[in-house]
Structure 1
């Protein structure tokens, strides 16, 4: 299974205030995100993290990655320090990627695009950075934890949620 996430901001106390995450301290925050990740992602799964993984002051990135299930890829965000991008725990690190998955062409970047490659051919833009505050374009999804119940999500779940909203909350419509 392939999962997508972003904007975890492990060890970054700003998210408690700016994003109003429901934790009284960073230990609770980080423990909850690790638990949610590991409840969702299996050891053989693949995770694409779309940026802003952890604060440079939060400790050893390799140790944190070892606590998280799955094979992990990083799409670099604006708050990813060198200690994160050079960690040994990543399968790959890049600023942008394109994938074919479940019959869809996916465009992955930390930032939401106004236009993207093969947009006219129904490609999908997955991004982070906006913490669930940006009104998306069609076929554009913010996979950051703030808009995804603080856990990684599958493409299938993103598409199903969109269909649910488009059908006025009726999955059978």
Structure 2
């Protein structure tokens, strides 16, 4: 069975994100190369990756080159910086599926770009990005922005193990 991964906020081609988020890269070309290598080091050709938004600031040709260089079946949930281009643009760039809205995964996990409202009485977990290096407290939120995971897609099993008690898995 293929593995499932989650990740968000690569911001490919966005040189200012290096300073904004104190990323350890000398420029956007190095950032693209390293993040592509880290993705392909863990994601196999038959694996599935949910990218939770803010993928690329580059033009179609360069974005297409990056998407095609990344392993796996790629699902994009549009982030605030992706929405201006629309669903069709991202499909043409090479994503296998594109959603304009959050996705419910496994009946228990809300996959979204921005964190969603949750309270302690809601039996769900929100896997999100958008807030980069920040983090919400508690087990109902998992921030999969690249800054929290060494710029590497996170196995869904790792996320699940953090938030679902072992007797329920």
Structure 2 residues without counterparts, runs of 5 or longer: 165-169
Give the equivalent residue in structure 1 for 2:27: 25
- Residues 62-119 of structure 1, C-alpha deviation per residue, up to 9 Å, x if partnerless? 221110000000000011141753434112111211111xxx6110110111228xx7
Using the alignment, how far apart are the partners of 1:6 and 1:87 within structure 2?
20
What do you get for the CA RMSD once the two structures are aligned? 2.3
1:113 aligns with 2:119: no
1:92 aligns with 2:94: no
1:74 aligns with 2:76: yes
- 3-state DSSP of counterpart to 1:3: strand
Using the alignment, how far apart are the partners of 2:6 and 2:56 within structure 1?
16
Give the equivalent residue in structure 2 for 1:124: 125
Using the alignment, how far apart are the partners of 2:71 and 2:151 within structure 1?
15
- 3-state DSSP of counterpart to 1:126: strand
C-alpha change, 1:8 and 1:32, in structure 2 (3 Å) is same
TM-score normalized by the length of structure 1: 0.82
Structure 1 residues without counterparts, runs of 5 or longer: 164-173
